[in-house]
Structures are given as C-alpha cells and as structure tokens.
Structure 1
Amino acid sequence: MPALVLCSLIPAIVHAQPPQAEIDAAIQRGVAFLKNTPDYGRSGLNAFVAYTLLKTGESPDSPYIQNCVKNILADHNQKNEKGEIIYQPGRDYNYCAGVQLMVLEAIDPEKYQTEIQTTVDFLIRTQHSTGSWYYPGNNPHNGDTSITQYAILGLWAAERAGVQCPTAVWDKAARWHLTTQLRDGGFGYHPASPSEATAKHTMGVAGTGSLYVISLMLYPEGKPRTADNPQTGSIRKKRFGFLEKVELAEKPVGNEKNLITKPNIPLSAIENAKSKGGDWVIRNYNIRNPTGWPIYYLYGLERIAALADAKKLGPHDWYADGAQQLLTTQRDDGSWYGVGNISPSTCLAIIFLSKATGKTLHRKYQPEPVGSGLLAGGRGLPKNLAEVQMRNGKVESKSLSGDLTELLAQLEDPANADLEATQESLIETITLGDREKLIQQKERVLKLIDARSPDVRRTAIWALARTNDFTVAPRLIDALKDPDLGVRIEARNGLCTLSRKIRGLGMPEDPLADTLESLDEKERIQIVNQWSDETAKRWQKWYNSIKPFEEKFNLYEVLNQLPASK
C-alpha cells in the first residue's frame, strides 16, 4: 500500500477541486435525471439507482426507494420448475445480486436479514471453483474481473449486515486474484481470453479494490479472522462501518456449522498483490482517457482511496481531478454519457461525487503522513522536492540520470556527491520506476543504514520500506533507536508503510510536537527515548507474528541456544 498512503513527494498537474456547491448541484441534476424514469423493473439498474440515491441522502422511506425495494423483493419470490419459491435475480444476474445486497444493507440490515442471507447463498452457489464469478452457465474466460468485483462488494455488504460468508469463499476469491493479476500489477477483463486479458484502467481499479476488500475480510486489522464471537441475534454498530451480532436470538442466522476457518492464503501474498495493484493504478493514472468505461474507472478510484484511507493516490488528487472532469462533461439533462449506457454512467458519476465508499467506511479523507512526514517536511531530505519538473504530465529529473545503480553509488560516497540531488532523483526513480530493480539492489541499500551520514541513513530506510520485503523489518526496527531523531521517525514511517499499518504501533509521526511545551529539551529527549523503546518492542512483537517460517524455526539458532554438552 505504500504508494496509496504516501502523501505526494512529487507534484502532479492537478485541477483545483470545484466548489462544493457546484458538486452538490451536479449531484442533484443527476438524481433528477435518474428519477425521470419512474420504474427500472427487475434489473441490476433498479438496485444501482436505489443505491445511488441512498448515498446522496435519499430517505429509505421515500416512495421512490420503496418502489425499488419492491422490485428487489420480487426477485425473492420467483418460482422454479417445481413451483418452489426461490431467489432469482434479474437479467444482470451476479451484478444484480451484488448491488441488491448493497442496497438492503444500506436500508435496514436487520429488517432484510432473511433476504440478505438468501442472496449470499446464491452468490456462494454461483462462485466458480476458480474463485471468480461470471454469467450463468459455462465460464469460458476463467471468470470476469468486473462481475467478480460486484459479487465481492455484495458479500462485503452482507458481512457488514452481520451475515457471515464462509472463509473458503474469500480464500478462493483471493487465489483467483493472485493468479490472474498481471506481472506489472494490472488486471484484465477476462483473464483466459487473449483479446481481453490485457491490462485495463477499469479492471486495474476493480481488481485492486477487490483485493482490499478480501484482505479486510480474511485479515481484519491484520490478523486472521476467527469465529470466537458467533454471529447470532440482533445487530449493533461496529467500528469501520461494520455490523456485528449480539447474543439475543434463539437460533443462529445462516448455516449452523461454523463457517469461519483459518485462511489458506497468507496475508503477505494478498498485501503484496495490493501493493502491486496500487502501484499500477498510480503509474497508469488517467482521468480523461482511461481504457474501458471512464466513469466506472472513477468509481474504482474512489473505492481504493476510501479503503486505503488516502486523500491522494500517489501524487494525484483523485477527487479534485475526477470532480472537475465530471462537472465539465455533465449533459444538459443532468446525465453523463460514459461509453453509451447513460443511466449506469450517471449512477457511477453520482456515486463518485458523493464519495459513496468513503461514507460506508466513515472516512473523512484526512490522509496519514506515512513515509512522507520526514521526507516532505524538510527534516534532512531536500526541501525543494516540490520543484520537480513536470512536462506533459510526466516527471522529468532535473539532475541525475535516474539509474538506480548510479544513485546508490553516489550515496555510498556522499563526500563526492551532490547529496540533495541524489536523494531527489532516488525518490523519483523508486516512486515511479520498476520496484523489482530496487529489490535487486536490496543488499546495497541495507549497508547504507550504517552510513555515517544521518541523511544517507534516512534515505536508505525510506527506500527499504518500499521493497515490500518483510525481511528488512528487523533493520528498520533497529533504526528506531538510532542516535538521530530524524532517522527514528523515518524508521517508524517506513515500518508503517511496509506493514500497511498506517497509524503505526506507538511513537507518533512527530514525537517532539506531541510532548508538553513546558518540558525542557532534556526531558523531551528522555520521553522520546522511552517512546522509541516501547515502539521497538511493539514492532518486534508484530514482526515475530508474521516473520517467515525459516526464521521462526531456525535450527542453527536453536542449537546455539542449547547448553554445551559435557
């Protein structure tokens, strides 16, 4: 996640965010357009319109929403060949089922608990063995990244409503995304189709967003999900917009057997895929001419930013850019054209402008300065990073070539280098370049942590945190006790980036700013040292819980700890 939570080190050419009054007016014109159609019938669009209106503040009790709900409930009263009452979504199938879950959860998860469970059962049945979802019948393309996305969004809504989805379903979905993600981090539409397997902007945000949800479901707060608290009875609010059950009902909801088991897919694999996907999204950021549906792409950006709790995606102010684009392309009747399907495009535009996922997660879009407070704040690294040249939307280095080998050689001999220019070019190269090249140079970067210059040590720590290699964590933990306070702060920020724990484990981003002003310098430093010690212990405990198997069971270390034989 480093690129998503990192406040901009390198500026992008962005539009100023339009005034909120203009955004609100555009939303209302779009809502009026959608309501010009009195009834969307039994279709996915019916649910999509209802969800859109709910996210703009429409009352669940309004006649319009209630008519949409009536259409949704009609799907739960269909008859099969035997005359049995079954759930059968409209012609949009899994798209329809996913969005219907989002609507019912948003309206009243307790009232519609049975319908939510029935829809979840349907999505579980229609999941293919590979972990993906598709249209009815055969699955010639090894799944559909877009349909799978909406199934995952629906199941996520069901989980928030208190209806459990088996761990196996999330596990299979995780495996499918890991196996279909392209080497550069992107995603295609139909992975098994040569003509539709190439990376698209729309599928990049869809696949990456799904990985974020899957990670949240399998490893809430970074730990494997457990079944310690059976989900039975009434519903009450939980943190992060989720819902949980309290023990009041006489029988459990859903299947009686325990559905929550230990995940099979490691957290590290999912987090690595998220990071690759996030990097791809930032490298290929394109508001005006994305491949695929442009407004569908915007909604995907909004979802990723909300899940990552990031105001910016790398250097890009996604909301300001997207809002400006939508306000300039809205049609006179209040709609958006998209790629030809007007009503869905209008829904997607309104959902983006309303920050729908952010509302679900109660985000306030105040980004954490993970990995950037030191670098962008001027505490040792170049103060003129904001002066990086931009031409035609691309970063141009003002100084060195950007070759990673050359830049590391400069840091290894700082006495003969323009350290400020070297640091600036290194940041550009790593942020915008090929992460694999950084990983190949990891051993050289590790040696720089012991450099005499605090500036070089800080730069090395910043770079190591972006290797996505958890084995460097012990070196960053050691750096929490560096003599230089700036190095300690960067080590703390680097661990936040590496672990995806954006709020850290102890020491705040700027510890001196958080101490009492009445304290003298000696007392302040003493408090910071205490913070450093406590923080190092917490990070070490975290690393012990996730470190690789071979480190946990190192036979050589065990034998060396045994008493010598007599």
Structure 2
Amino acid sequence: MENHCALIRRNASPHRTSLTGTWCLCALLLLSCLADRAAAQPPQAEIDAAIKRGVAFLKKKPDYGRSGMNAFVAYTLLKTGESPDSPYIQNCLKNIMADHNQKNSDGEIVYTPGGDYNYTAGVQLMVFEAISPEKYHNEIKTTVDFLIRTQQPAGSWYYPQQEPNNGDTSITQYAILGLWAAERAGVMIPTRVWDNAARWHLTTQLPNGGFGYHPGGKTDRGAKHTMGVAGTGSMYVISRQLYPNGQPRSASTTGKEGEPKKKFGFLEKVNLTEKDKEGEENLFTKPTIALSALETGKTRGANWVVNNYNYRNPTGWPNYYLYGIERLAALADAKKLGPHDWYADGARHLLMMQLEDGSWKGSGNIDAATCLAIIFLAKATVKTIDRKYKPDPVGSGLLAGGRGLPKNLAEVQMRNGKVESKTLSGDLSELLAQLEDPATADLDTTQETLVETITLGNREDLIKQKDRVLKLIDARSPDVRRTAVWALARTNDFRMAPYLIRSLKDPDLSVRIEARNGLCTLSRKIRGLGMPEDPLADVPEDLTKEERVIIADQWADEATRRWQKWYNSVKPFDEKFNLYEVLDQLPKSKSK
C-alpha cells in the first residue's frame, strides 16, 4: 500500500498529492480499524445466542441412551446453567444410572460403562460432581474404582477390551478430568494414581514439548494440536493434585478440604480403595515425581501450544482443540496464551462456523462437536477451578444461639475472637477416655481427632484398644455408639462384623447407617447388602414418624439377614463349628 501511494505521489501535482496522501492515510486507518474489530471478542449477546441455539440443537434428540454422549450432553447443559432438576437432565441421569445397575454373572450389581468406556466414566464423574457429590457419592466411588482398575501399569488409560499398549493421550485426558472431579467431590484418589499418570506424561512428552496420540504406536505421527493441549492440560491437573499449594499432598492438604465427614451425623462417607499386596492402601504417600519435573513439563508443553497456536486447527477436531485451549488457559490462569487472545479468536471462529440448525460440524460426531463448542463458549473450566464441595457441618453458624459450644467450657480457648476447643493430643487412649465420659467431652472435636488419628496412625494401636471400643457400642449416647462402630470397621478384623451387624438394628438411624458403611468398608462391598446409605431418602414426607420407623426396621431386617449370610461365608475357621450355620450353607436339595 505504501509503495502504491508513493507511485501516485510521484506522478501527480502537489495539490493532488496532498489529496492522495490523505486518502491513503484514511485507507490505512480503516484497514487498521477493521483488523482491530476482527480481533475483538464478539458481543456477549451474540455468544449467548449461539449457546442457546446449540443447546436447542442438542435437545432435539430426545434420548442419547447408554453412551458417553449422554453424559457429555448433560454436562454441557449443566455448564450453560440448566437446572439439574430439568426433565431433560433427569432423563440423562436415568440413562447414566443404567450403567451403575448392571449385573454380573453372579447377579451382583456392578458398574459397566457404555462402549466409550473411560471417556464415559470420566464425563459421568464430571456430571455427578456438578450436580450433587453427596447424593451420588456411591456412584462416584464405583466409577473411580473402575478408572483405578483400568489404569495401565505405565500410568495411562486405553480401551479396557483391547490389548495393552503405551496408552492414549486423549482417553487419559478424560480419565484424569473424571478423577479430578471426584477429588473435588470429596473422594480421594491414591497418590500412586496421580504419580503414575505424571510419569507417563513426562516420559511420552516429545522433545519439542508436544504430545502424540498413541505415543510410540504404529499410528503415531508426532505432535498434534489436539494432543498438545490434552497432554499439557492433564499435567496441569496432575500437578494440582500431587502438589496442592506447591506442597506434597497429604490428609491435611487434600482430605480435609474435600471429604464430607458428616451427613445426618455420620462420621464420614465410605471411602474404599483397592488393596495392595501389603494390606490396606495409604492414600497419601509421598509423590515420586518431583514438582520441578512437572513444572518443567508444563512449561515445555505450554510453550509448544503457544508456538503452534492455530484456533482453526486445520489438522482436525477443531472444537476438541478449542476446549483443550480453554481448559489449559483456565488452569494456567492465562487471559492470553502468549500474544494470542484465545477466547476472542475461538469465539469469533465458532460463531462463524455455527450451522443454521445450531450445531457445529466437527471431524467426527456432530453432537460431540456441538458440546465442545458450547463448553468453550461457556468457559466451563473457569467455572470449575477451585470449586470444592464443602457441606456445612451440623450446627455451624449457630454459636450465637448457644449451640456448638463445648460442654466443658474449661477446655476452650479464644483465637481471632472466636471460641475454639483446645486441640486434643491425638493419643488414642486419651480419645477413648473422652468417649467413655461423654458428659465432659467435646464430641465434635473428639470425633474429628479420633478419625484423623486412626486414619493416619498405626492400626496396631487401634487393635490393642479393641476391647475398649467394643464396650462403647452400648454407650447411652448415639454419637459415641456411632463413633465406636466407625472405629471397629477400621480394625480390618472380620471378627468385628457381628458387632456391626448387631448395630444395624440400633435405635438411632445414624448408628445403623454407620454400621452399614462400616460393613461396606470391612467387606469391600461398596454398595452394601440390603440397605442403602440413606434408607429414608425416597420416603414421602407426609408419612408419620411411626410409619418411617416401620420402613427403617424393614430395611434393617433385610440388611441383617444378608450381612449375616455374608459373614457366615467368610468368618474365621475356628468360628465355623455351629452345625446349624454349616447346614444353612449347604445347597438345598430339589424336591422330586
């Protein structure tokens, strides 16, 4: 343009040169303005309208059935602000729950995701966490157990039904997103799972900082845009989980923030993990991957993404790439990726590419491409970052009304103008003494300290105090009985099962449910036998107290029968000399 203007000036009169120069200047200013407008973020009203059209397209299909798309659509709608109680999302949940109610060859209910396997499992966890971590705690746990079982030894994920290989960066990404959602929901993931995933990403990251699809596989063709944002984003998540606040994860940095300890007075949720060869697994082991190694990997990955930035992503799956960009930018807390205004670029591109029916055409599934576009426009990850499930403890906020104060006021102290209980020593014998004399104990503080002491301490110390704990299951206070039941389950001694089974008929419902949870822990049967975690959850509110008691007793009778049958099949040999019980285990002969 400047050369063209100079040529005009050389062949024109002074008067015309002035006019021509002015014209050139105006043209340049106009082009500059048009360029700035092209780089600007579209008006929010246009973005909202595009999201609305996309949601309408997704809802045209009445049912997505048992597939990963079913959960993906539900998650997309939730991130656009749709109520979990809407009929459409409730239908999605019905389909999701079908995966959690499959039966194996023995007739036991097991979790069996649809054909998308780990994609499905990961997104289902994201849905459960977005709706209600408390309500879907058991489903979250069974899904987590599935992902832990299907993690390959090297630390990646793939399709369980296929031959093991060196992993899939895309599938691994969604497994990690699901496990991250589970930890936000309060279900702790063993350190080894994150540690192995970290090692896999660092060893498969390419020399240039990018990631391939199937590292080292026959179809691997080097770094890809989609896998670059997937692998780098996964490393950001892993780093947050292994080193929260820059420190190695522990019960104090992880469990206390996320794990809901009470519901209707329950000490804590059932939190089962697989056992290793040495017995019960310690969730909070020291990471073997150094923080510095993760930081280096994250930096190299982010640099590759910035240097190869292309919001149109000509190599395929553009909307998958954009969702990865949105997630990476949110995790890195970056309004721009280098010089690139990623959201303005992506929003302009998506608004231009949206079809008349509200959908987006991707390299594969149109429904999936539409979900990915909507999630990007809605900035779904930004809404997720640092979201922790923190239920209010019983009695919180009521100190001014006289509730929540320790019963023994000599055991309080002032801190920052607030009344707090003095911290107990954590000695198990002292804590049991507090429970043995509940009139002078601060039960909330005692329970909290006891849970931490038993969870993180030496289990042999608990076994030595077993007889004292057994006496407490007959205490007058239901809080004390509930605490004793919880502690007995943590002995890992099957001989404690009869006491827990007996407590299934405790006069207090919360003790019954703690006994049920304890049996789940002891038996490793997360779904339990004969009684759900909250047996009165679906009972109509208009029933009388007496009617509710009858229903609770019916649940207790069925649970007692089934748990006793289980115990008879696994109890120690020296307890199996009851002739009637032996006969009960024999197969019944068929009458002719």
Question: Aligned with 1:245: secondary structure?
Answer: coil
How big is the shift at 1:137? 3.0
Instruction: Name the CA shift for 1:140/1:112 in 2 (closer, same or farther; >3 Å).
Output: closer
Cα distance in 2 between the residues matched to 1:179 and 1:80: 37
Indicate if the aligned counterparts of 1:144 and 1:190 stay in contact, CA closer than 8 A. yes
Instruction: Name the CA shift for 1:13/1:279 in 2 (closer, same or farther; >3 Å).
Output: farther
Indicate if the aligned counterparts of 1:227 and 1:258 stay in contact, CA closer than 8 A. no
Cα distance in 1 between the residues matched to 2:187 and 2:308: 37
Alignment correspondent of 1:302: 326
Alignment correspondent of 2:245: 221
Deviation string, structure 1 residues 328-365 (Cα, Å, up to 9, x no partner):
000000000011310000000000000000011269xx
Q: Which runs of 5+ in 1 are unaligned?
A: 1-10, 233-237, 364-566
Deviation string, structure 1 residues 27-70 (Cα, Å, up to 9, x no partner):
00000000000110010000000000000000000000001011
Q: Which moved more, 1:192-201 or 1:302-311?
A: 192-201
Alignment correspondent of 2:234: 210
Structure 1 position 171 matched with structure 2 position 195: yes
Alignment correspondent of 1:341: 365
Alignment correspondent of 2:277: none
Q: Please point out which of 260, 270, 283 is paired with 1:245.
A: 260
Alignment correspondent of 1:134: 158
Alignment correspondent of 1:27: 51
Indicate if the aligned counterparts of 1:163 and 1:253 stay in contact, CA closer than 8 A. no
Structure 1 position 61 matched with structure 2 position 85: yes
Alignment correspondent of 1:49: 73
Deviation above 2 Å: which 4+ runs of structure 1? 11-14, 137-141, 228-232, 243-253, 255-258, 289-292
Cα distance in 1 between the residues matched to 2:346 and 2:385: 20
Cα distance in 1 between the residues matched to 2:46 and 2:333: 25
Indicate if the aligned counterparts of 1:12 and 1:315 stay in contact, CA closer than 8 A. no
Cα distance in 1 between the residues matched to 2:306 and 2:36: 11
- How do residues 505-520 of structure 1 correspond to structure 2 at under 5 angstroms? none
Cα distance in 2 between the residues matched to 1:138 and 1:51: 28
Indicate if the aligned counterparts of 2:122 and 2:177 stay in contact, CA closer than 8 A. yes
Indicate if the aligned counterparts of 1:167 and 1:263 stay in contact, CA closer than 8 A. yes
Cα distance in 2 between the residues matched to 1:12 and 1:191: 40
Instruction: Name the CA shift for 1:211/1:350 in 2 (closer, same or farther; >3 Å).
Output: same
Instruction: Name the CA shift for 1:221/1:290 in 2 (closer, same or farther; >3 Å).
Output: farther
The residue type equivalent to 1:316 in the other structure is: H
How big is the shift at 1:80? 1.2
Deviation string, structure 1 residues 389-436 (Cα, Å, up to 9, x no partner):
xxxxxxxxxxxxxxxxxxxxxxxxxxxxxxxxxxxxxxxxxxxxxxxx
Cα distance in 2 between the residues matched to 1:340 and 1:246: 43
Cα distance in 2 between the residues matched to 1:295 and 1:251: 41
The residue type equivalent to 1:27 in the other structure is: I
Cα distance in 2 between the residues matched to 1:149 and 1:168: 17
Instruction: Name the CA shift for 1:265/1:12 in 2 (closer, same or farther; >3 Å).
Output: farther
Structure 1 position 314 matched with structure 2 position 338: yes
Question: Aligned with 1:91: secondary structure?
Answer: coil
Deviation string, structure 1 residues 250-299 (Cα, Å, up to 9, x no partner):
35532275311111100000110000000000000001234231100000
Alignment correspondent of 1:72: 96
Cα distance in 1 between the residues matched to 2:382 and 2:94: 27
Instruction: Name the CA shift for 1:271/1:12 in 2 (closer, same or farther; >3 Å).
Output: farther
Indicate if the aligned counterparts of 2:260 and 2:269 stay in contact, CA closer than 8 A. no
Instruction: Name the CA shift for 1:228/1:282 in 2 (closer, same or farther; >3 Å).
Output: same
Q: Please point out which of 323, 334, 340 is paired with 2:347.
A: 323
How big is the alpha-carbon RMSD for the aligned residues of Structure 1 and Structure 2?
2.0
Cα distance in 2 between the residues matched to 1:360 and 1:117: 20
Indicate if the aligned counterparts of 1:14 and 1:317 stay in contact, CA closer than 8 A. no
Indicate if the aligned counterparts of 2:72 and 2:371 stay in contact, CA closer than 8 A. yes
- Highest relative contact order (Cα 8 Å, sep 6+), 1 or 2? 1
Indicate if the aligned counterparts of 2:244 and 2:253 stay in contact, CA closer than 8 A. no
Instruction: Name the CA shift for 1:194/1:257 in 2 (closer, same or farther; >3 Å).
Output: closer
Q: Which runs of 5+ in 2 are unaligned?
A: 1-34, 273-279, 388-592
TM-score relative to the length of structure 2: 0.56
Deviation string, structure 1 residues 66-96 (Cα, Å, up to 9, x no partner):
0101111111100112221100001110000
Cα distance in 1 between the residues matched to 2:312 and 2:36: 15
Alignment correspondent of 1:508: none
- How do residues 271-286 of structure 1 correspond to structure 2 at under 5 angstroms? 271-286=295-310
Instruction: Name the CA shift for 1:149/1:229 in 2 (closer, same or farther; >3 Å).
Output: closer
Instruction: Name the CA shift for 1:169/1:149 in 2 (closer, same or farther; >3 Å).
Output: same
Cα distance in 2 between the residues matched to 1:81 and 1:157: 31
Q: Which moved more, 1:74-83 or 1:326-335?
A: 74-83
Structure 1 position 154 matched with structure 2 position 178: yes
TM-score relative to the length of structure 1: 0.59
The residue type equivalent to 2:96 in the other structure is: I
The residue type equivalent to 2:158 in the other structure is: Y
Question: Aligned with 2:252: secondary structure?
Answer: coil
Indicate if the aligned counterparts of 1:142 and 1:191 stay in contact, CA closer than 8 A. yes
Question: Aligned with 1:291: secondary structure?
Answer: coil
How big is the shift at 1:138? 3.9
Indicate if the aligned counterparts of 1:187 and 1:197 stay in contact, CA closer than 8 A. no
Indicate if the aligned counterparts of 1:140 and 1:192 stay in contact, CA closer than 8 A. no
Structure 1 position 87 matched with structure 2 position 87: no
Cα distance in 1 between the residues matched to 2:196 and 2:185: 22
Alignment correspondent of 1:450: none
Alignment correspondent of 1:401: none
Cα distance in 2 between the residues matched to 1:212 and 1:18: 29
Instruction: Name the CA shift for 1:113/1:15 in 2 (closer, same or farther; >3 Å).
Output: same
The residue type equivalent to 2:271 in the other structure is: G
Cα distance in 2 between the residues matched to 1:140 and 1:124: 15
Alignment correspondent of 2:399: none
Q: Please point out which of 287, 298, 312 is paired with 1:288.
A: 312
Cα distance in 2 between the residues matched to 1:181 and 1:128: 17
How big is the shift at 1:194? 3.8
Greater gyration radius: 2
Q: Please point out which of 260, 272, 283 is paired with 1:259.
A: 283
How big is the shift at 1:136? 1.7
Cα distance in 2 between the residues matched to 1:174 and 1:14: 39
Indicate if the aligned counterparts of 1:231 and 1:246 stay in contact, CA closer than 8 A. no
Cα distance in 2 between the residues matched to 1:14 and 1:148: 36
The percentage of aligned residue pairs carrying the same residue is: 72
Cα distance in 1 between the residues matched to 2:161 and 2:344: 42
Cα distance in 2 between the residues matched to 1:52 and 1:252: 28
The residue type equivalent to 2:211 in the other structure is: F
Cα distance in 2 between the residues matched to 1:275 and 1:96: 30
Indicate if the aligned counterparts of 2:225 and 2:313 stay in contact, CA closer than 8 A. no
Q: Which moved more, 1:88-97 or 1:283-292?
A: 283-292
Indicate if the aligned counterparts of 2:158 and 2:164 stay in contact, CA closer than 8 A. no
Instruction: Name the CA shift for 1:14/1:141 in 2 (closer, same or farther; >3 Å).
Output: farther
Cα distance in 2 between the residues matched to 1:290 and 1:362: 33
How big is the shift at 1:141? 3.8
Indicate if the aligned counterparts of 2:226 and 2:321 stay in contact, CA closer than 8 A. yes
